[in-house]
């Protein structure tokens, strides 16, 4: 790799996103020194739209693995810092450029957390912290076939690191029904394939249980929750998995709603013994 330049590369992967891409790219152009655009097989006007915004566009053969696609994008980046944005997200803060530039001037930070504002059909907004701004370093790469994240590589290579929050917001439209059509089924297929190759992967089992639950497939989700609980029970260092608390709350709820209140109460004692 040639010497990296001071500045920010925004990495975006896409497939057939012509309906939403203009909005996403328009809000990036003011903050990015380059947009690295990875197309994974579009047959609409996605690539043409990327060209209109002068993206550096590359083709990637889709292989049911979001991390591989995003890591390919990271490897094309020419600047010292990277911001990961999806096509169904919009960076709308007016001060984003200044805040990002300030954060990137600090040399001893590998990554930062920013806010993702999830929009829902009922008008609600759920804010979550996501690690999306990070140094262009070979020790930082995405993991997981779907719901990909750099967190594992950051915490492995910078043990004990506590990332600061840069107060910028991504408005996320992915949970709205008009935009989620087909995506849940796609993710369920990827998760099932992932679990076939790695049956005891905690994160894959957890996300499959949650996705089945969120799509209303309650009866199908219950045995997947049970399997996930069994896998979690075998892990010694449960603090390594910050989502376990959320998982247990959902599992408790689905047991109660399904008429297994006694079993749900028994979970409380087990979880207390874990802490």
In this predicted structure, what is the pLDDT of residue 230? 92
The model's pTM is 0.83
In this predicted structure, what is the pLDDT of residue 192? 94
Contact predicate 150/111, CB 8 Å: yes
pLDDT at 237 over 90: no
Please state the rounded mean pLDDT for residues 22-44.
96
Beta strands in 16-174 (DSSP E): 34-39, 56-59, 79-84, 89-91, 111-119, 125-135, 165-172
User: Greatest CA span in the chain, whole angstroms?
Assistant: 61
Q: What whole-number distance in Å separates Cα of residue 191 and Cα of residue 215?
A: 14
pLDDT at 275 over 80: no
Contact predicate 166/96, CB 8 Å: no
Q: What percent of the chain has pLDDT over 90?
A: 63
In this predicted structure, what is the pLDDT of residue 181? 67
Q: Which pLDDT tens digit goes with each residue over 64-86?
A: 999 999 999 999 999 999 999 99
In this predicted structure, what is the pLDDT of residue 10? 98
The pLDDT confidence band at residue 242, using thresholds 50, 70 and 90, is low
Q: Which pLDDT tens digit goes with each residue over 192-221?
A: 999 999 999 888 999 899 889 888 888 899
Average pLDDT, the chain: 91
Q: What whole-number distance in Å separates Cα of residue 23 and Cα of residue 170?
A: 12
Q: What whole-number distance in Å separates Cα of residue 141 and Cα of residue 74?
A: 8
User: What is the C-alpha end-to-end distance of the chain, expressed in Å?
Assistant: 45
């Amino acid at each position: 790799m040639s010497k990296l330049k001071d500045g920010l590369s925004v990495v975006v992967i896409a497939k057939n996103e012509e309906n939403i891409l203009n909005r996403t790219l328009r809000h990036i152009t003011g903050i990015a020194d380059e947009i690295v655009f990875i197309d994974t097989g579009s047959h609409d006007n996605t690539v043409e739209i990327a060209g209109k915004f002068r993206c550096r566009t590359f083709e990637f053969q889709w292989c049911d693995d979001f991390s591989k696609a995003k890591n390919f994008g990271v490897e094309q980046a020419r600047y010292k810092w990277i911001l990961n944005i999806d096509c169904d997200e919009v960076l709308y803060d007016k001060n984003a450029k200044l805040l990002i530039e300030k954060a990137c001037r600090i040399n001893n930070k590998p990554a930062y957390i920013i806010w993702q504002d999830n929009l829902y059909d009922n008008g609600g907004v759920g804010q979550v912290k996501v690690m999306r701004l990070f140094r262009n370093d070979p020790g930082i790469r995405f993991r997981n076939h779907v719901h990909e994240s750099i967190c594992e590589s950051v915490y492995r290579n910078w043990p004990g690191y506590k990332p600061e929050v840069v107060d910028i917001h991504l408005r996320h439209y992915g949970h709205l029904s008009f935009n989620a059509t087909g995506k849940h089924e796609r993710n369920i297929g990827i998760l099932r394939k992932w679990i076939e190759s790695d049956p005891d992967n905690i994160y894959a089992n957890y996300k499959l249980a949650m996705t089945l639950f969120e799509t209303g497939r309650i009866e199908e989700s219950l045995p997947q929750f049970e399997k996930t609980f069994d896998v979690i029970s075998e892990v010694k260092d449960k603090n390594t998995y910050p989502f376990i608390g959320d998982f247990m709350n959902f599992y408790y709820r689905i047991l109660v709603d399904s008429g297994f209140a006694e079993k749900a109460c028994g979970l409380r004692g087990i979880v207390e013994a874990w802490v």
